[in-house]
């Protein structure tokens, strides 16, 4: 693996950010197979259950979130095929957050659904999470945290305990490992792109960040802010992407979100 490592480092140091991201995705794909990602996602879900994560058992809200995810996945499919997308709603109205795990599991907190102004904001955030999966950020983050050689040795090994160890590395104290700035920006690009492609105003992701930023100190928003740094740079970049690509979609879906918010437990 050492020569591969040197080759990868050489490539990474000599290319643009876009090429670099593509190279990292290829490396991540060759390290951790789709089947291993699925297994990792399953293990992470088991970890979440062990940590007493409370999943919302409300068919209306589940159907609503599922409907939005299903609108977005055909777009994601074009960038990364073969993902078995699943979604889960976490019953926690005080936490404004969402996350994705390897293999295509998307988790959204009821707090985020309650905090959003309209459906376009929720779609932007969901698209952002799909983007993390499409770009294989978990595998890339594992490499960043544990080193290329360690992850490749564990992923190549036949010991099932290794997958559990990798899963545990992704979940610590009930929160998913935070991604770096570049990965967040990359996921934002997917979020705006997918929202626009499904007919929703791609500004939703930016307006959601803006709102979180304006709320500043509110405790409910801290979790989201700590794992998804909302800053003016992100908002600017999303707006620049919309302008550069001439995104035209305008659907906000304010009324349909309001109807679902009324059905979400507030405590
Ligand atoms: Zn993110």
Give per-residue pLDDT as tens, 222-237: 455 555 655 788 899 9
Locate tokens 């020569």: which residue?
3
In this model, does residue 252 exceed pLDDT 70? Answer: yes
Instruction: Tell me which H or E stretch contains 17.
Output: helix 17-31
- How many angstroms is it from 185 CA to the middle of ligand 1? 8
Calpha distance 183→206 (Å, rounded): 16
- Two tokens, residue 250: 């305008």
- How many angstroms is it from 141 CA to the middle of ligand 1? 12
- Two tokens, residue 82: 């073969």
What predicted TM-score, i.e. pTM, was given to this entire model? 0.86
Burial of 20: CB neighbours in 10 Å, binned 0-12, 13-18, 19+: middle
- Two tokens, residue 81: 């095929």
Active site amino acids = 129
**Percent over 70 (pLDDT), the chain:** 82
**Percent over 90 (pLDDT), the chain:** 49
- How many angstroms is it from 99 CA to the middle of ligand 1? 7
Mean pLDDT across the chain = 83
pLDDT of residue 70: 98
**Which range, of 22-26, 202-206, 208-212, 261-265, averages the lowest pLDDT?**
22-26
Look at the alpha carbons of 234, 235, 236, 242 in this order and tell me if their dihedral is positive or negative: positive
- How many angstroms is it from 159 CA to the middle of ligand 1? 30
- How many angstroms is it from 219 CA to the middle of ligand 1? 19
In this model, does residue 63 exceed pLDDT 70? Answer: yes
Q: What is the mean pLDDT of residues 199-221?
A: 78
Calpha distance 223→13 (Å, rounded): 33
Answer yes or no: are the C-beta atoms of 152 and 232 closer than 8 Å. Answer: no
pLDDT-derived band at 8, boundaries 50, 70, 90: very low
HSE (side-chain half, CA atoms, 13 Å) at 247:
26
pLDDT of residue 12: 47
**Which range, of 56-65, 89-98, 112-121, averages the lowest pLDDT?**
89-98
DSSP 3-state of 264 = coil
- How many angstroms is it from 95 CA to the middle of ligand 1? 15
pLDDT of residue 140: 81
In this model, does residue 11 exceed pLDDT 60? Answer: no
- How many angstroms is it from 212 CA to the middle of ligand 1? 15
């Amino acid at each position: 693996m050492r020569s591969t490592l040197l080759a990868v480092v050489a490539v990474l140091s000599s290319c643009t950010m876009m090429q670099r991201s593509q190279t990292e995705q290829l490396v991540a794909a060759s390290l951790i197979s789709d089947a291993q990602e699925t297994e990792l996602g399953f293990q992470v879900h088991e970890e979440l259950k062990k940590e007493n994560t409370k999943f919302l058992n409300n068919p209306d809200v589940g159907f609503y979130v599922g409907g939005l995810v299903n609108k977005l996945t055909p777009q994601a499919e074009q960038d990364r095929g073969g993902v078995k997308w699943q979604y889960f709603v976490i019953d926690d109205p005080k936490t404004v957050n969402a996350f994705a795990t390897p293999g295509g599991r998307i988790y959204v907190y009821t707090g985020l659904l309650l905090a959003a102004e309209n459906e376009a904001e929720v779609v932007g955030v969901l698209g952002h999470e799909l983007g993390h999966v499409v770009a294989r950020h978990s595998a890339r983050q594992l490499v960043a945290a544990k080193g290329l050689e360690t992850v490749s040795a564990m992923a190549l090994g036949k010991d099932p305990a290794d997958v559990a160890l990798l899963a545990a590395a992704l979940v610590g104290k009930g929160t998913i490992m935070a991604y770096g700035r570049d990965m967040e920006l990359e996921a934002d690009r997917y979020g705006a792109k997918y929202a626009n492609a499904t007919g929703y105003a791609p500004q939703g992701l930016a307006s959601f960040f803006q709102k979180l930023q304006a709320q500043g100190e509110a405790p409910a928003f801290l979790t989201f802010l700590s794992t998804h740094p909302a800053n003016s740079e992100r908002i600017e970049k999303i707006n620049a992407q919309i302008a550069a690509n001439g995104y035209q979609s305008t659907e906000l879906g304010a009324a349909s979100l309001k109807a679902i918010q009324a059905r979400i437990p507030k405590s």
